[in-house]
Amino acid sequence: MKDRDALMAYLDGLGIATTTVAHPPLHTVEESQALRGTIAGGHTKNLFLKDKKGTIFLVVAEESRTVDLKSLHKRIGASGRLSFASAEQMRALLGVEPGSVTAFGVVNDRDGTVRLVLDEGLLMHDMVNCHPMTNEATTTIATADLMAFFQSTGHEPLVIGLEAPAGDGQAE
């Protein structure tokens, strides 16, 4: 499993430049917004989900998105409603602890078990910010480089609009 240092070495090996800012551990979008300062670019929130057949999804959304968990399964090809996957699955597949879920976690999913879903709103930013395998830092990466990173790991994201209609079942 790649940790923060191994992730940075991997990105360096791909020729991808990043900048990383250390900060106290952040567990929620609200904490992140309060403590991160003025880090430019799109900021992510991540949902580690499974469907009724056990298919695992990593949903990487713009932090301000309201994601409708009641209807998301229809839009991403899941078999039935989605629920949160376990901490054990998170550790085994992404190599991160709860509270540190990140788009970069797919680097540890060598078997391609995780289906990656990316909010099209993130593609509107030149730069995207993700935790580097720990919630004690934020790494800024060019959006094009993030897409190249995904490709290098064998994870072609399903890019869709994740903005939920007004109503119930929303994860904020």
**Mean pLDDT, residues 124-137:** 94
Angle at 31 between CA 26 and CA 34, to 5 degrees: 125
Q: Give the C-alpha separation, 144 to 49, whole Å.
A: 25
Phi, psi at 129, each rounded to 5°: -115, 130
Per-residue confidence band for 34, with pLDDT thresholds at 50, 70 and 90: low
Domain chopping of the chain, boundaries: 4-164
What is the tens place of the pLDDT at every residue in 69-102?
889 999 999 988 999 999 999 999 999 999 899 9
**Mean pLDDT, residues 23-40:** 68
Instruction: State the average pLDDT for the chain.
Output: 90
If you classify domain 4-164 with CATH, what class do you get?
Answer: alpha beta
What is the tens place of the pLDDT at every residue in 58-67?
999 998 888 8
How high is the pLDDT of residue 28? 65
Q: What own/partner pairs with CB < 8 Å and gap ≥ 24 does 104-110 have?
A: 104/7, 104/130, 104/131, 104/132, 104/133, 104/139, 104/149, 105/46, 105/58, 105/133, 106/58, 106/150, 106/153, 106/155, 107/2, 107/7, 107/10, 107/149, 107/153, 108/1, 108/2, 109/153, 109/155
Q: Is the dihedral of CA 143, 105, 148, 13 positive or negative?
A: positive
pLDDT(124) > 90: yes
Single-letter residue type at 32: S
How high is the pLDDT of residue 27? 63
pLDDT(168) > 60: no
Report the percent of the chain where pLDDT is more than 70.
Answer: 87
